[in-house]
């Protein structure tokens, strides 16, 4: 009968599971809005856990255990997220949120800085005193700060003699530009007051922001270009100059913007802040007057500067809605700052006027419109009458003839191959849309080359003659996604893919490879490799950039043909899809030939390819380029030097924007790979760009996309600080006394760490380097650079440690030799003892029947003495009796001699001789009794009675002894049968293992393929989640709709469903609650249902305990072991095998006993005993006995969470020799220790 149904008093209480789960620790559960919320597990389902949130405003939910993480006790506030008691993405997010609301916007993940944009000024956060405070301080010594990363870069450059790079990354609006400004501020002000060079480097920022930054829907000061600013140092680590490289200015913004976005800041700054005399000279009006400012026309201003802007310069929208507000941007004030910065960079008033003139010329150029010529049969166009004034102003500002400009805008020059030395020149009229494109192309070319010129002027103002090292700060546009994504977003996202690949290789891949090379036992961390996306974009044979360049070289390039070629070349690539596969409904309206979808590391982005070809080729046609080359404007003439006409190269030789950017990016990556690298991850806390608001889901998505979560997982076991033994020795050689200078580098490190009492968990020795946990190298450095008195104490400790370590090594060597000698002697004694016992056993086994037979026959001789005594009392027949006795004596002697002389005599022969002698003795006794009957009847009867009583007592004793021997033999037989069963099972297991080993070779390829498929599936699942989150964010910004895709079934669920289908299971228990399974186990009479419930019940227990083990605290030992470690390890090592469905039979009860010791027990603790009673395959009773602790008795039905959840087969107990015991042995100990009798 099933153990669970035997006794009503041990049945499961329906409320016990619920109470037990409610008393467990807090957990974090996934939430679509807040990222994670706190709750408690209230039910264990077949595939998911039911969680009740602590905050009652959230509904109860069921989640897969991968979306549930343990929670720390109480709120957390740690400078370094690696210091969290529980390291997971939920506690990481909670720590960021807690610190954000305390205005602690900076946090570390090991050596990576996390910066959350506060969207407001925080008092004294970047003050000069703060710069001085961080000067020369090690990372982790002070609270996290962008200054700490800058100081670390300076110190690493000085110590390692290697140039450094600081990569500032994040989404648009995350604060990259501001972080870059403060980094440069520290690099220039950290050691001394800023000199002329440092001042010019800092002045470059407002200039670059004015010409390269603009307001977008996600950021009021968004950098629309990338820059790598190098601060160069000499051998004394003094700033000697700088250099700025820029990448991919967004040219399309010059001509068009969306309703909520603005053009580049410089246009609005010039209109709002320029003196009236300058505005009159440049014929400038208000933003409403210009087509190139068609988006948002409001200025950024505060209450003071709003009064300084003339009303005639304000747009209608500005007058109705008022100015835009931002704590950093002010168009009026920033123009004054721009003008002063240009002056400090060395530009004269004439140079500044030339820059302002070209900026104004771009605005007026955009107001030139075109109309059809009614009488022109060739379909040409002309400048409209309404824009004649703009034409005049533009030509005057550009310094070109008005007629030539008009002609160049409405027609283009073509040159035939024949007809003279240079061929015949043909003027081809342009249609209206072609003229508009030519005008916009000219505006883009002027502004982009002006921007290049400004960057070149900045570099000329901060030259360096000789540079030993430099620190480069990379600020480039973050990952971008809009409702309409074009060529600019494609290039920006490609750049972010390359940077993410660099981050993966530099932080994750190379870090783990270093741990392996140095022999550090650090678990391997898996991460998504985006190399396949990069190959999709930049492959030489059929990458998207290559296909775009090939399309641009065709006589009649077509966006639809280009898109079709992309889909054809990468038809089966997972990362490339059709627009209709997008989650956003607005993208699904695109036809297949109008765009494509790329699944980036941060999420899927749908690109519209309509303008890809046009934006990839930024060359002007010959007439316009020749016009500006011959202009009278000196600055414009420098921007378009003669002899650089790109139109004469032809389509086959032109250098596209994409290939140019790819080359620039390759050079940048080479620099980064050669330098030491520091990372700053900027996080955008909310999409509304307001302060004191934290959107958990948005922050979590950014942390995942940036790879920071993977770094957190790696740093849980990793050692971010490391240094070579020789370098560490060299760092402190100058402050060491002669006694320590002579030590080898590794011996010095070992001696110093041991003598300073540093915890062994805080550092680890590799083969060539010593590794430190986060922040621990700071403690070591502080101690080593302390005052001389402390150094004397350290030296004394080192000497003491060296003497002690050498003595200990000598003593341990002597002890090892002594132990080896004693072990050899002990083993010899054991061998002799084993031989002696074995030989004695064999001798006794051979001769036992003989000496037992002699002893039995000799007992007859004793009886004959009594017969002689009786015969002495006879008056008649005495001699006859004595003669009979003597005959018996002879028979006894003959039998004994025969037994002694024949070593091979059998037990049967001895028994037959004994029977013959005993029969003669009995006959003699009968004769004696007959003779004495008449003479001494009464006396003889009494004497015979006594003899019979003695014989009866002997018989009873003999029977008792035989009964005891039979019981011992029976117990021995049962144990022999158990051992035989164990050996048979062991033999079957070994046979099965041998068969599995032979089959493993043929199955290895299949298993590897399944593992790869599973890993690919998990990546796709995570990619689907990111795509959905990205689509939701974009839909919330654009008021669009997101169409849900069919829910993705986890692979484990598919496998389980297949197993159920193959096994033809009768019962579907997937929707049963945990408590319902226990009730069915206690009450059901259906044997099949009972067995199915027990299997599902224990399967869920395994899932729950596996989740608890994965989310346990780092400092908590295995205090609540449910079974001995050997049992759990056996189950862990055993490969999962799908058991065939067998016929359910009556459960067999088996009992086991093994010794064990808890993992956290002291070294001198005696081993205890662990007892287990299995009812079939599942445990029914469990008992732990310790010498110094009270016994622990557990019964299924009430103590399931503390009991072993493994099946009998998984525990491996049946394969342990001597582990199985008899039922009465288990029950005896159970009752002795207070267990209730069953």
H or E element that contains 513? helix 510-517
Residue 183 has pLDDT above 90, yes or no: yes
Which is higher by pLDDT, 1077 or 36? Answer: 36
Kindly report the backbone phi and psi dihedral angles of residue 1187, in degrees, each rounded to the nearest multiple of 5, phi listed first. Answer: -70, -35
The bridge status of strand 213-214 relative to strand 222-223 is antiparallel
1156: which strand partners? Answer: 1168
Range with the lowest mean pLDDT among 68-82, 117-131, 816-830?
A: 68-82
Contacts of 771 by beta carbon, 8 Å cutoff, 6+ apart: 518, 520, 719, 721, 722, 763, 764, 765
pLDDT in tens, 49-95: 889 999 888 999 888 888 888 887 777 888 888 777 777 889 999 99
- 565, with CB counted inside 10 A (0-12, 13-18, 19+), is middle
Q: Residue 78 in contact with residue 108, Cβ under 8 Å?
A: no
Q: What single-letter DSSP state applies at residue 1148?
A: P
pLDDT number for residue 833: 92
pLDDT in tens, 956-995: 888 888 888 888 888 888 888 888 887 887 888 788 778 8
Contacts of 202 by beta carbon, 8 Å cutoff, 6+ apart: 184, 185, 188, 194
pLDDT in tens, 457-503: 999 999 888 888 999 999 987 788 888 899 989 999 999 899 988 88
Kindly report the backbone phi and psi dihedral angles of residue 984, in degrees, each rounded to the nearest multiple of 5, phi listed first. Answer: -65, -45
Sole residue written with tokens 């030259």: 463
Range with the lowest mean pLDDT among 12-26, 294-308, 432-446, 549-563?
A: 12-26
Residue 130 has pLDDT above 80, yes or no: yes
Contacts of 553 by beta carbon, 8 Å cutoff, 6+ apart: 651, 652
**Of the ranges 224-233, 911-920, 1190-1199, the best mean pLDDT one:** 224-233
pLDDT number for residue 1048: 46
Sole residue written with tokens 């700052």: 337
pLDDT number for residue 163: 94
Q: Residue 1235 in contact with residue 1191, Cβ under 8 Å?
A: no
pTM over 0.75: no
pLDDT in tens, 1105-1125: 777 776 666 544 444 566 777
pLDDT grade for 282, boundaries at 50, 70 and 90: very high
Contacts of 1205 by beta carbon, 8 Å cutoff, 6+ apart: 1098, 1101, 1102, 1105, 1122
Residue 1168 has pLDDT above 60, yes or no: yes
676: which strand partners? Answer: 164
What distance in Å separates the CA atoms of residue 878 and residue 871, rounded to the nearest whole number?
6
Give CA 493 to chain center in angstroms: 24
Kindly report the backbone phi and psi dihedral angles of residue 1211, in degrees, each rounded to the nearest multiple of 5, phi listed first. Answer: -70, -25
Per-residue 3-state assignment (H helix, E strand, C coil) for 960-975: HHHHHHHHHHHHHHHH
User: Angle, to 10 degrees, between the axis of helix 725-732 and the axis of helix 745-755?
Assistant: 70
Within 1148-1236, strands assigned E span 1149-1156, 1168-1175, 1178-1186, 1189-1195, 1220-1221
Q: Residue 864 in contact with residue 883, Cβ under 8 Å?
A: no
Q: Residue 357 in contact with residue 633, Cβ under 8 Å?
A: yes
Contacts of 722 by beta carbon, 8 Å cutoff, 6+ apart: 514, 766, 769, 770, 771, 772
pLDDT number for residue 744: 76
Alpha helices in 345-486 (DSSP H): 349-365, 388-398, 402-410, 432-461
**Of the ranges 328-342, 995-1009, 1181-1195, the best mean pLDDT one:** 328-342
pLDDT number for residue 1059: 46
What distance in Å separates the CA atoms of residue 847 and residue 629, rounded to the nearest whole number?
126
The bridge status of strand 1149-1156 relative to strand 769-772 is unpaired
pLDDT in tens, 499-531: 988 888 877 777 777 778 888 877 776 777 889
pLDDT in tens, 685-720: 998 888 999 999 999 988 887 778 777 777 666 776
**Of the ranges 437-451, 651-665, 1008-1022, 1119-1133, the best mean pLDDT one:** 437-451
What distance in Å separates the CA atoms of residue 1145 and residue 1176, rounded to the nearest whole number?
9
What distance in Å separates the CA atoms of residue 696 and residue 101, rounded to the nearest whole number?
13
CA distances from 915 to 91, 885, 888, 910, 1044 (A): 90, 16, 12, 9, 99
The bridge status of strand 164-169 relative to strand 676-683 is parallel
Residue 743 has pLDDT above 80, yes or no: no
The bridge status of strand 106-109 relative to strand 112-116 is antiparallel
pLDDT number for residue 645: 54
What distance in Å separates the CA atoms of residue 414 and residue 429, rounded to the nearest whole number?
11
**Of 672, 754, 779, 765, residue with least CA distance to 723:** 765
What distance in Å separates the CA atoms of residue 468 and residue 928, rounded to the nearest whole number?
131
pLDDT grade for 790, boundaries at 50, 70 and 90: low
- 583, with CB counted inside 10 A (0-12, 13-18, 19+), is buried
Contacts of 806 by beta carbon, 8 Å cutoff, 6+ apart: none
Tokens of 188: 């220039």
Sole residue written with tokens 């003779």: 931
What distance in Å separates the CA atoms of residue 341 and residue 1076, rounded to the nearest whole number?
76
Contacts of 520 by beta carbon, 8 Å cutoff, 6+ apart: 719, 764, 766, 771
What distance in Å separates the CA atoms of residue 503 and residue 484, rounded to the nearest whole number?
28
Q: What is the mean pLDDT of the chain?
A: 82
Q: How many CA atoms lie within 13 A of 812 on its CB side?
A: 6
Average pLDDT estimate for 359-363 = 96
For the chain, state the CA radius of gyration: 47
Per-residue 3-state assignment (H helix, E strand, C coil) for 1108-1138: HHHCCCCCCCCCCCCCCHHHHHHHHHCCCCC
Average pLDDT estimate for 780-803 = 67
What distance in Å separates the CA atoms of residue 284 and residue 291, rounded to the nearest whole number?
13
Residue 420 has pLDDT above 60, yes or no: no
Range with the lowest mean pLDDT among 1002-1006, 1039-1043, 1204-1208?
A: 1039-1043
pLDDT grade for 922, boundaries at 50, 70 and 90: confident
Q: What single-letter DSSP state applies at residue 109?
A: E
What distance in Å separates the CA atoms of residue 358 and residue 728, rounded to the nearest whole number?
57
**Of the ranges 181-190, 194-203, 778-787, 830-839, the best mean pLDDT one:** 830-839
Residue 1049 has pLDDT above 50, yes or no: no
Residue 1 has pLDDT above 50, yes or no: no
**Of 325, 260, 271, residue with least CA distance to 296:** 260
Q: Give buried/exposed letters for 989-999 (b at 16+ CB in 10 A, else e).
A: eeeeeeeeeee
- 285, with CB counted inside 10 A (0-12, 13-18, 19+), is middle
Contacts of 471 by beta carbon, 8 Å cutoff, 6+ apart: 150, 153, 154, 157, 163, 164, 165, 166, 187, 230, 231, 233
Within 684-742, strands assigned E span 721-724
Which is higher by pLDDT, 414 or 680? Answer: 680
Secondary structure (3-state) at 325: coil
Residue 1096 has pLDDT above 70, yes or no: yes
pLDDT grade for 1130, boundaries at 50, 70 and 90: low
Sole residue written with tokens 């139109």: 647
Kindly report the backbone phi and psi dihedral angles of residue 851, in degrees, each rounded to the nearest multiple of 5, phi listed first. Answer: -75, -25
Contacts of 902 by beta carbon, 8 Å cutoff, 6+ apart: none
In degrees, rounded to 5, the angle at the alpha carbon of residue 341 between the alpha carbons of residues 335 and 346 is 135
Tokens of 1201: 């969470």
């Amino acid at each position: 009968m099933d153990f669970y149904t035997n006794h009503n008093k041990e049945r499961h209480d329906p409320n016990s599971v619920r109470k037990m789960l409610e008393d467990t620790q807090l957990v974090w559960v996934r939430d679509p809005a807040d990222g994670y919320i706190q709750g408690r597990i209230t039910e264990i389902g077949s595939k998911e856990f039911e969680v009740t949130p602590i905050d009652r405003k959230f509904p109860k939910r069921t989640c897969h255990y991968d979306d549930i993480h343990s929670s720390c006790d109480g709120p957390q506030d740690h400078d370094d997220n690696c210091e969290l008691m529980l390291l997971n993405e939920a506690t990481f997010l909670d720590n960021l949120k807690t610190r954000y609301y305390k205005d602690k916007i900076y946090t570390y993940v090991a050596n990576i800085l996390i910066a959350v944009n506060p969207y407001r000024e925080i008092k004294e956060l970047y003050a000069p005193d703060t710069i001085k405070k961080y000067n020369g301080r090690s990372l982790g010594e002070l609270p996290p700060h962008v200054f700490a990363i800058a100081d670390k870069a300076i110190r690493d450059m000085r110590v390692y003699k290697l140039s450094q790079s600081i990569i500032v990354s994040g989404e648009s609006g995350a604060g990259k530009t501001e972080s870059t400004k403060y980094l440069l501020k520290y690099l220039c002000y950290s050691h001394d007051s800023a000199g002329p060079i440092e001042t010019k480097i800092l002045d470059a920022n407002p200039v670059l922001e004015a010409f390269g930054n603009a307001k977008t829907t996600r950021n009021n000061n968004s950098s629309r270009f990338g820059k790598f600013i190098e601060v160069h140092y000499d051998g004394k680590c003094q700033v000697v100059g700088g250099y700025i490289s820029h990448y991919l200015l967004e040219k399309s913004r010059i001509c068009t913007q969306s309703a909520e976005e603005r053009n580049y800041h410089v246009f609005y700054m010039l209109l709002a802040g320029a003196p009236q005399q300058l505005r009159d000279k440049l014929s400038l009006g208000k933003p409403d007057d210009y087509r190139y400012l068609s988006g948002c026309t409001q200025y950024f201003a505060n209450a003071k500067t709003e009064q300084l802007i003339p009303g005639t310069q304000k747009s209608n929208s500005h007058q109705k809605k008022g100015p835009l507000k931002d704590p950093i941007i002010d168009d009026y004030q920033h123009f004054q700052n721009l003008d002063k910065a240009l002056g400090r960079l060395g530009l004269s008033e004439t140079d500044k006027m030339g820059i302002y003139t070209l900026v104004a010329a771009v605005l007026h150029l955009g107001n030139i419109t075109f109309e059809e010529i009614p009488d022109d049969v060739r379909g040409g166009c002309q400048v409209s009458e309404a824009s004649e004034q703009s034409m005049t102003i533009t030509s005057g500002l550009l310094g070109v003839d008005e007629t030539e400009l008009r002609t160049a805008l409405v027609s283009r020059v073509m040159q035939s191959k024949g007809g003279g030395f240079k061929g015949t020149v043909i003027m081809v009229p342009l249609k209206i849309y072609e003229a508009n494109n030519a005008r916009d192309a000219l505006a883009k070319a002027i502004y982009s080359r002006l921007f290049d010129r400004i960057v070149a002027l900045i570099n000329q103002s901060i030259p360096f003659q000789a540079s030993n090292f430099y620190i480069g700060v990379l600020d480039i546009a973050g990952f971008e996604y809009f409702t309409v994504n074009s060529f600019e977003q494609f290039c920006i996202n490609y750049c972010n893919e390359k940077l993410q690949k660099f981050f993966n290789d530099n932080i994750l891949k190379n870090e783990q490879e270093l741990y392996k090379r140095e022999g550090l036992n650090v678990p391997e961390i898996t991460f998504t490799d985006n190399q396949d996306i990069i190959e999709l974009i930049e492959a030489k044979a059929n990458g998207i950039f290559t296909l775009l360049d090939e399309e641009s070289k065709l006589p009649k390039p077509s966006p639809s043909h280009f898109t079709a070629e992309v889909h054809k070349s990468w038809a089966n690539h997972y990362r490339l899809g059709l627009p209709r596969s997008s989650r956003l409904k607005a993208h699904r309206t695109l036809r297949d030939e109008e765009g494509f979808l790329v699944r980036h590391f941060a999420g899927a982005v749908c690109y519209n390819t309509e303008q890809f070809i046009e934006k990839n080729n930024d060359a002007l046609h010959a007439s316009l380029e020749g016009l500006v080359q011959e202009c009278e404007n000196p600055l414009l003439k420098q921007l378009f030097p003669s002899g650089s006409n790109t139109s004469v190269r032809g389509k086959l030789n032109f250098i596209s924007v994409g290939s140019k950017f790819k080359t620039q990016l390759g050079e940048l990556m080479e620099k980064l790979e050669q330098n030491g690298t520091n990372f700053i991850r900027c996080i955008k806390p909310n999409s509304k760009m307001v302060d004191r608001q934290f959107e958990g889901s948005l922050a979590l998505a950014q942390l995942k996309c940036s790879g920071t979560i993977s770094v957190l997982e790696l740093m849980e076991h990793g050692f971010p600080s490391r240094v070579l033994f020789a370098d560490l020795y060299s760092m402190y050689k100058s402050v060491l006394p002669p006694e320590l200078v002579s030590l080898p580098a590794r011996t010095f490190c070992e001696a110093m760490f041991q003598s300073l009492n540093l915890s062994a968990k805080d550092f680890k020795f590799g083969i060539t380097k010593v590794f430190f946990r986060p922040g621990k190298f700071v403690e070591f450095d502080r101690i080593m650079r302390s005052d001389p008195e402390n150094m004397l104490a350290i030296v004394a400790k080192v000497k003491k440690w060296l003497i002690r370590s050498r003595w200990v090594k000598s003593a341990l060597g002597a002890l090892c030799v002594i132990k080896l000698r004693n072990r050899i002697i002990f083993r010899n004694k054991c061998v002799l003892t084993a031989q002696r016992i074995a030989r004695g056993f064999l001798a006794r086994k051979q001769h036992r029947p003989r000496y037992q037979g002699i002893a039995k026959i000799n007992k007859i001789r004793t009886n004959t003495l009594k017969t002689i005594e009786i015969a002495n009392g006879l008056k008649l027949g005495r001699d006859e009796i004595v003669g009979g006795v003597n005959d018996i004596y002879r028979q006894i002697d003959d039998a004994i001699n025969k037994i002694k002389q024949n070593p091979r005599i059998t037990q049967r022969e001895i028994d037959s001789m004994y029977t013959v002698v005993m029969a003669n003795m009995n006959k003699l006794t009968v004769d004696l009794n007959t003779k004495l009957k008449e003479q001494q009847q009464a006396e003889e009867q009494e004497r015979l009675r006594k003899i019979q009583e003695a014989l009866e007592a002997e018989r009873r004793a003999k029977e008792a002894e035989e009964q005891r021997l039979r019981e011992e033999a029976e117990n021995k037989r049962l144990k022999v049968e158990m051992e035989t069963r164990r050996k048979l099972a062991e033999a079957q297991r070994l046979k099965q293992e041998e068969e599995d080993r032979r089959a493993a070779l043929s199955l290895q390829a299949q298993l590897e393929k399944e593992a790869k498929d599973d890993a690919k599936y998990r990546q796709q699942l995570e990619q689907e989640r990111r795509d959905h989150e990205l689509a939701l964010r974009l839909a919330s910004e654009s008021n669009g709709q997101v169409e849900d895709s069919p829910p993705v079934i986890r692979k484990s669920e598919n496998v389980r469903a297949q197993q159920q289908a193959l096994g033809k299971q009768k019962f579907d228990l997937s929707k049963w609650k945990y408590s319902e399974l226990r009730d069915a186990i206690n009450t059901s009479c259906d044997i099949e249902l009972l067995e199915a419930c027990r299997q599902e019940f224990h399967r869920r227990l395994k899932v729950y305990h596996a989740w608890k083990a994965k989310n346990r605290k780092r400092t908590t030992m295995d205090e609540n072991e449910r079974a001995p470690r050997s049992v759990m390890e056996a189950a862990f090592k055993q490969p999962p095998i799908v058991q065939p469905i067998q016929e359910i039979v009556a459960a067999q009860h088996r009992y086991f006993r093994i010794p064990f010791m808890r993992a956290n027990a002291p070294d001198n603790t005696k081993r205890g005993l662990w007892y287990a009673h299995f009812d079939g395959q599942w445990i029914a009773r469990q008992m732990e006995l310790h010498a110094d602790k009270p016994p622990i008795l557990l019964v299924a039905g009430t103590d399931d969470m503390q009991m072993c959840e493994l099946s009998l087969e998984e525990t491996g107990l049946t394969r342990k020799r001597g582990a199985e015991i008899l039922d009465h042995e288990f029950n005896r100990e159970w009752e002795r220790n207070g267990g209730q009798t069953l």
